[in-house]
Structure 1
Amino acid sequence: MKNRLSTVALFALFASTASYAQNKLSGVVYNTASNTALSGVEVYVKGTSDGFVTNQNGSFTITTNLTQGEIEVSSMGYVSKTINFNFDTATELNLGTIYLNESAESLNEIVVMARGVIDVAEGRRTPIAVSTIKGADIEEKIGSRDITGVMVNTPSVYVTSESSGFGDTQMYTRGFDQSNTAFLLNGQPINGMEDGNMYWSNWSGMGDIANAIQIQRGLGSSKLAISSVGGTINFITKATEMREGGFLKAGLGNDNYFKSTVGYSTGLQENGFGVTAMFSHWQGDGYNDMTAGQGQNYFISMGYKPNEKHNFNFLITGAPQWHDQNYAKPIATVYDEKDNKIIKTPGYDVFGLKFNNNWGYVNGKAFNERRNYYHKPVLNLNWDWKINELSNLSTVVYASFGRGGGTGPIGSSPFLQDGSGLRDIQSKYDENALTGESKYAIRASVNNHAWYGVVSNFGHKFTDNLTFNLGLDLRSYQGDHFRQLTDLMGGSFHVDATGSRLRDPKARLTETFSTNPWKVLSGFAKNPEDKYGYDYSETINYGGLFTQLEYATDRFSAFFQGAVSNQSHVRWDYYQYTPQEEKSEKVNNVGYNVKGGLSYNIDNKHTFFGNAGYYSRQPYHDNIYMSFGNTVNPFSENEEILGLELGYKFVSEFVSFNINAYKTNWANRIESEVETVGDNDPDYPQLAGQQLFTINRGLEHDHQGIELDIQAKPLYNLEIKGFASIGDWRYKGNTVTEVRTEDREILETSTNDIDGGKVGNAAQTSFGIGAKYKILPNLSIDADYRYYQNLYANVQRKENLELPSFGLIDAGVSYALNLTDKNRLSFRVNVNNLFDTEYITQSNTANMLTGAEGETAYKGINTTNQVYFGFGRTWNASIKFTF
């Protein structure tokens, strides 16, 4: 530290002697919370090299040749502050006392609405493991990636590029998938009500609207009864801006990616009203072959603050999109057993890592059988009421309306034998045109829903140290699921020969429906005779109460949270039941959770914390009813989750870090696998090209590990961040396994021993380091390196397949040009996977090497495994004009 102070002091002295004028700025910097002086705070004049570091009394003196400008005051663990100065005719200027707010992981400066509902961790006070990504970092790092891409440099977070299409990534936290990590939008739960899943294609605009992301690993600090087994991810969006202004932004990327965005805010007017709006359009060909996509994003926020007691904010946002998809395939091409010139299943070895076998040509135009399309408008009304100095009420009323689905073939198309590896869709089209009957057609699996909810939290301060919260969480969900035709592929009708179709057996379907995400808001099959394969609905009603008691002083904090909820489920099946039997039995499930934690801050630098919690979580709707029918599953029970965590946090002037250990045990779990059937499959050749779903019931997980994240600022213009996580995630006991088709028919059932098997699809060991260096005040470069190992296949087996380890480097450059006091031009370039590393991000199978004749290997694994390779080198560049 002495060397660093000396270096900065000499630097400041040199800058001073080189100046033509001897204008001196002085002041003192204090901690707002403790009202104590802060040493080691960096203070520099923006646009120059003039800078200094505060001494033990918090004081600083800077010599500059500028007569007016801005200084930036920053320190690790605090919110930076910019202050204007103007010497006029004087040569010395005292700026007085400058107060900095603690920030380490605090978002209090960012949360401007629904303060009582958005549960954010407050740095050294909240006893949980947490990482925070601010809006500026999101804008820099996201480029053309999903929002999950900005969270990869976080302990125990792993992101796969599943399906390798826009919005198809999957995120894992501490080895738990997205259905078991709670995602919140301004405190509003956004995990699917039926199965807990997240589909990032539905949230493709999140990178535009997110003001911050807080990743709370483990139990989290949310008071709601939510599925925070792996963690809680809180997206805090932009609200109505206080100041008038706007921006224009355009970006380009690999594979013809283009995005344009415009935003404007009226600012908060004298009458208390204000409006902020943003719109964007994006399109691209996709990294893999035939994975093009296109979409828009809209965001409108209207604020009204009539007085200091009430604050209202209404927002509506949505991200309509469509994108073509690519599925897993074997590493090595599979040939016919009798004729090794006939390709049965194309692989990466012959056709390359970008190859996609879901498409072919029809009448000279490229056509992908698999497309995802969706439009999910979200409406959100926030009301913050400051009742008095001791009490407040915060309420969020919300609604969302999802429309869309995913396409796939009815029947299958063979692969062409011309060396292209493409599907021979044209021959199927010609057959349909000749006979009039579409035995091969394209259908869409539709998932529509209407979701309404309210979250309200009352807070009361009994004393300066003791606070109490009581709230409710109400949700009502109506989901509709069916299949409809999108393309008859040359024919004029399709006969629905599905065996479970009770109404109008072998009906002729003639209507087709659009996959345009704007048209699907109302343009979908409403008549039963236009639906194919299945047709059912469900209503899920949820009511929960939660409470929290928290005691906090400058040194010590403790909290206790409790929540109880009831979920009711009713299923209607219009396809395989008579009208008298189409409604199922109503099922009610009660769940609860309790958790508590302690934190002790020794001297504003050292903090020890611990927390523990127990969840009794109701089963998801999809697990309550058997065989996708109305029969209630008698073995459906609450899932039991126990979480424990201990940690230590350190914060100083130049470095902060957090280290913690955790253990999570989870019983009565249900998981699934997916595998694409090859043309030469010995068991199900008639299902070639389609997907098989394996459902494992009765799983028990045991996850434990150690995590570290660190931030350092050794120089005023250099920031360093790092993370590491070592996990041991295993299955325990036996599981009951079902194999089903895409049409949900059961093919086989078995019982399997998986005790001690490694949990797959997320790297159990990972570490990374990143740095950002300011070459000039307006020019910076940054790079991140991360390494993954102990990554296993996405199967539930006693002997799982370990995939090859890999490391990746991302880099970027930022430049900003101040045109006027209000106008600014910003440039950003990102290169992801800088060295074009070849790696497997996921495997859907666990085929081991056996030494059999003709067996081949890739980096030590059997080439028959169906895998996804990660993206190679990608890039994007953007320019933004702020006014």
Structure 2
Amino acid sequence: MRSILFSAALLITGWCAAQTVTGTVVNNSGETLEGVNISTSSGRSGAVSTSTGSFTLNFTQPGKYVLRFSYVSHESRTENITLSEGENLDLGRIVLTEIQQELEQVNVTATRVKANGPLVYQNVDEETIEDNNTGQDIPYILNQATSVVTTSDAGAGVGYTGMRIRGSDQTRINVTINGIPVNDAESHGVFWVNTPDLASSTSSIQIQRGVGTSTNGSGSFGANINLQTDELSRTPYAKAHLGYGSFDTERATLEVGSGLLNGHWAFQGRLSQIRSEGYIDRARSNLRSYFMSGGYLGDNFSIKAVVFGGNEETYQAWYGLDSATYFAAVDKNEEPTYNYAGEVYDDNSNLTGYYDDQVDHYTQNHYQLHYNQVLSKSTSLNLSAHYTKGSGYYEEYQNSDSLATYGITSTPQVYGDVVRRLWLDNDFYGIVGNIDYKKNKLNLIVGGGDNYYDGIHFGELVWARYAGNTQPYDRFYLSYGDKADANVYTKLYYDFTSKLQAFVDLQYRLVNLSGKGDDENNRQIDFSGEFHFFNPKAGISYTFNNTVMAYASYAIANREPNRQDFIENEETPKAEKLNDLEAGARFKLGRLNLNVNYFLMQYRDQLVLTGQLNNVGYPIRRNVGESFRTGVEIEAQASFLNNTLVWMPNLTLSTHQNRDYIGDDLTNYGNTPIAYSPNLIGGSVLKYTGVKNFEIALQNKYVGEQYLDNTGNERYLLPSYFLTDLRLAYKLRILNMERCQLQLSVYNLTNERYISNGYVYGTPYYYAQAGINYMAGLRIEL
């Protein structure tokens, strides 16, 4: 008993004589950090910070020690201390710098414009994305961005949608997701319908107008759109977004996240379903999508897997409506919604009904693996591997088609009705990466990528009225497409002074592509091409003071023709070249931010839209000699009433011209307007948040006149239109919910009748858009 008491006395005496170190750990935003590991050089003492960030270390011996503070997604830190006997040392606040955001965004930031860079860009944050995300595709979420024009085949923003920036169509807008190229390698297009509700998993978007910076993929020839998907969350969450609206549109989204597990692991996922009958007759959409990500977050590195994709089935609505039928409906005050797709005729050419499965059916899955490492305080590394699998078909009823096209030769009939599927099965894969070095006045980025595409095009005969010797699902054409696309780039930002910054961006790109076989029209396909491109860019910016910053840049871009350019043109298409001059200024005047930009984009051998479509609704392009786009873009943001009222207008005044345009009939039309390029585009968002838990926003969009072809024929002129949308949101306080919000969006509030797109096939065809319509929603977060 005495020995026990003696041992306890010694322990108490030793404890009282012990040295202690205390403090509080916070991040660079001043928020306390729980679970920080604090270790010592001796390895005999250690602690973990509490929920208030505080910690206590006990040392049995005085002396010199090295303390190491480490926490997931933050830079580690060491502190050298010297303890005297019996000393109680308070270190105060220990600040750990966050690096999770840098780790997850390193590849994205490598292809984005820096805050004071001499290029033209617009950032769209997560709040803006959420505010406008009612289930429509990305083009409609970006509708209020400067120089943007959107369109929808089905007329209401669900299903096949598209966008143009400065008149440049989707094939010229380079899109990346987490730095991974998204544009289809063969067509250069982006089909947002393949990944519906992608906005629900997107945390930020940057739009670069003009050539922009070097990026992965086919490169910009009008704009870059760079999407960053949701970062891994440290805290667990569950979210749901339900919606219902006009044209029997339904939307359901469910998201969950694990938060950090064991201090390092995190996982999250999303499931979405969107259904709509569409504004246009039978233009229904049934869209499903998913998003999953998970990874390990170390002290100075992360590895993250991202998997997302979707399945879409949409009734074909790309035929449009001829002008005579359109105006006849309008004159009768009827909705111009007739859809030619799926018409079925009898032998006397009488319309008997519509084929129910005249659909586009496609599945696309994206797989990404990202490894990010902070090598030092000045250097970071990113490597990413990716694979995209796409497979699907157009199914269509063909009235009185040539049977020989399908190999039917054993029947006396030459023509007959058939049902066919036009298939596309493709694989796209590769690696991209970069090293980012920042020190003092220098920021150097060296990166590149190597990507490959393998595609198979084939047709299946599903049914034939006179089948002859064929069997269901016999193939009647087959062709292959291959493409290899490699690039390397170096970007240099240098601060000569605190005010003067220079930017140089040099890219070399090598493209090999080929196609062989035949198509659905029995045309032989046999083409190949090798292209070497050098794409230099340079610019300067000068910050006069806290109020004014000016910039200028000059860039050269080259681009190869796509598969359809080779197939649809009698002459071998040429590569395009673009010289892009951008100059402007940014002003901060109290509560007013103002950006003014001038652009001059000069093209040689530009592949312009002819205004015609191929048989699956894809635009046909051909080279023109010289052409240009020039204009002024103005953006502003002004706040009033203690920042509760914010106004965000933008305006684009421009001209787009072909020089000495030669038409298909070899007529020289002289200088003509470039198709689908309005000279005036304006937008406005007026947002009020002065009432507690309530938000109201009034959005306007003006799009000027635009031509459907390049001849300047007034017959092919689309009239201008002005739209007004209203958005309401109200936050409810229910139990312990993180968020419960009711939303209502009313589109085309003034019920304007307008046409956003069209084409020419002897006569103009129009894509009519919906009048007043709505979407209501409920957003819940736990």
Quote the residue 2:177 is aligned against.
185
Pair 1:328 & 2:320 matched: yes
Q: How does 1:423-822 map to 2 (within 5 A)?
A: 439-461=416-438, 463-488=439-464, 491=465, 494=467, 508-512=469-473, 530-532=474-476, 534-552=477-495, 554-573=498-517, 587-624=529-566, 635-673=572-610, 695-715=621-641, 716-735=643-662, 737=664, 750-789=665-704, 791-800=705-714, 801-820=716-735, 822=737
Pair 1:142 & 2:133 matched: yes
5+ residue gaps, structure 2: 1-27, 31-91, 346-350, 402-410
2:108–2:228 CA contact under 8 A, matched in 1:
no
Structure 2 Cα separation of the partners of residues 695 and 260 of structure 1: 38
Partner of 1:140: helix, strand, or coil? helix
More strand by share: 2
Cα distance change, pair 265–172 in 1 and its aligned pair in 2 (3 A) = same
1:158–1:171 CA contact under 8 A, matched in 2:
yes
Cα distance change, pair 798–664 in 1 and its aligned pair in 2 (3 A) = same
Structure 2 Cα separation of the partners of residues 793 and 368 of structure 1: 34
- 1:263 maps to a residue whose letter is E
Quote the residue 2:336 is aligned against.
353
Structure 1 Cα separation of the partners of residues 288 and 105 of structure 2: 27
Structure 2 Cα separation of the partners of residues 436 and 641 of structure 1: 52
Q: 1:151 aligns with which of 142, 146, 150?
A: 142
Cα distance change, pair 226–609 in 1 and its aligned pair in 2 (3 A) = farther
Quote the residue 1:374 is aligned against.
362
- 1:760 maps to a residue whose letter is A
Question: 1:794: Cα distance to partner?
Answer: 2.0
Structure 2 Cα separation of the partners of residues 210 and 243 of structure 1: 18
Cα distance change, pair 592–724 in 1 and its aligned pair in 2 (3 A) = same
Q: CA RMSD in A?
A: 3.5
Cα distance change, pair 608–673 in 1 and its aligned pair in 2 (3 A) = same
Greater Rg by CA? 2
1:124–1:649 CA contact under 8 A, matched in 2:
no
Question: 1:215: Cα distance to partner?
Answer: 1.1
Quote the residue 1:201 is aligned against.
193
Question: 1:799: Cα distance to partner?
Answer: 3.6
- 1:639 maps to a residue whose letter is E
Provide the identity percentage: 20
TM-score normalised over the length of structure 1: 0.70
Question: 1:768: Cα distance to partner?
Answer: 2.4
Summarize deviations over 1:102-133 as a string: whole Å, max 9, x none: xxxxxx99776141344465665111222222
Quote the residue 2:275 is aligned against.
283
Structure 2 Cα separation of the partners of residues 164 and 368 of structure 1: 20
Summarize deviations over 1:467-498 as a string: whole Å, max 9, x none: 2221121000001112223454xx4x646xxx
Pair 1:311 & 2:302 matched: yes
Q: How does 1:828-867 map to 2 (within 5 A)?
A: 828-845=743-760, 865-867=764-766
Question: 1:700: Cα distance to partner?
Answer: 2.9
Structure 1 Cα separation of the partners of residues 625 and 188 of structure 2: 17
Structure 2 Cα separation of the partners of residues 212 and 278 of structure 1: 17
Cα distance change, pair 726–263 in 1 and its aligned pair in 2 (3 A) = same
2:211–2:557 CA contact under 8 A, matched in 1:
no
Structure 2 Cα separation of the partners of residues 123 and 541 of structure 1: 30
Partner of 1:818: helix, strand, or coil? coil
Paired residues, number: 671
2:724–2:748 CA contact under 8 A, matched in 1:
yes
Question: 1:209: Cα distance to partner?
Answer: 1.5
Question: 1:798: Cα distance to partner?
Answer: 4.4
Structure 2 Cα separation of the partners of residues 612 and 588 of structure 1: 26
1:181–1:232 CA contact under 8 A, matched in 2:
yes
Structure 2 Cα separation of the partners of residues 111 and 315 of structure 1: 17
Question: 1:270: Cα distance to partner?
Answer: 2.1
Question: 1:878: Cα distance to partner?
Answer: 0.8
Q: How does 1:219-238 map to 2 (within 5 A)?
A: 219-224=211-216, 226-238=218-230
Cα distance change, pair 626–876 in 1 and its aligned pair in 2 (3 A) = closer
Structure 1 Cα separation of the partners of residues 103 and 339 of structure 2: 45
- 1:511 maps to a residue whose letter is P
1:248–1:881 CA contact under 8 A, matched in 2:
yes
- 1:874 maps to a residue whose letter is N
Structure 2 Cα separation of the partners of residues 240 and 148 of structure 1: 25
1:117–1:395 CA contact under 8 A, matched in 2:
no
Cα distance change, pair 112–471 in 1 and its aligned pair in 2 (3 A) = closer
Partner of 2:605: helix, strand, or coil? strand
- 2:779 maps to a residue whose letter is K
- 1:355 maps to a residue whose letter is Y
Summarize deviations over 1:25-52 as a string: whole Å, max 9, x none: xxxxxxx99x9xxxxxxxxxxxxxxxxx
Structure 1 Cα separation of the partners of residues 162 and 669 of structure 2: 24
2:110–2:436 CA contact under 8 A, matched in 1:
no
Q: How does 1:81-100 map to 2 (within 5 A)?
A: none
Question: 1:224: Cα distance to partner?
Answer: 4.3
5+ residue gaps, structure 1: 1-31, 36-95, 102-107, 335-344, 414-433, 496-507, 513-529, 678-688, 738-749, 848-863
2:454–2:482 CA contact under 8 A, matched in 1:
yes
2:624–2:658 CA contact under 8 A, matched in 1:
no
Structure 1 Cα separation of the partners of residues 662 and 294 of structure 2: 51
Question: 1:792: Cα distance to partner?
Answer: 2.0
Q: 1:383 aligns with which of 332, 349, 371?
A: 371
Partner of 2:139: helix, strand, or coil? helix
Summarize deviations over 1:701-725 as a string: whole Å, max 9, x none: 2100000111111122111110000
Structure 1 Cα separation of the partners of residues 499 and 356 of structure 2: 60
1:225–1:563 CA contact under 8 A, matched in 2:
no
Question: 1:229: Cα distance to partner?
Answer: 2.0
Q: 1:258 aligns with which of 238, 250, 254?
A: 250
Question: 1:437: Cα distance to partner?
Answer: 10
Q: How does 1:234-249 map to 2 (within 5 A)?
A: 234-249=226-241
Cα distance change, pair 312–655 in 1 and its aligned pair in 2 (3 A) = same
2:110–2:445 CA contact under 8 A, matched in 1:
no
Q: 1:217 aligns with which of 209, 214, 224?
A: 209
Question: 1:372: Cα distance to partner?
Answer: 1.6
TM-score normalised over the length of structure 2: 0.79
Range 606-615 or range 162-171, more displaced: 162-171
Question: 1:585: Cα distance to partner?
Answer: 7.0
1:130–1:215 CA contact under 8 A, matched in 2:
yes
2:568–2:620 CA contact under 8 A, matched in 1:
no
- 2:510 maps to a residue whose letter is N
Partner of 1:138: helix, strand, or coil? helix
Range 758-767 or range 112-121, more displaced: 112-121
2:103–2:301 CA contact under 8 A, matched in 1:
no
Structure 2 Cα separation of the partners of residues 667 and 445 of structure 1: 34
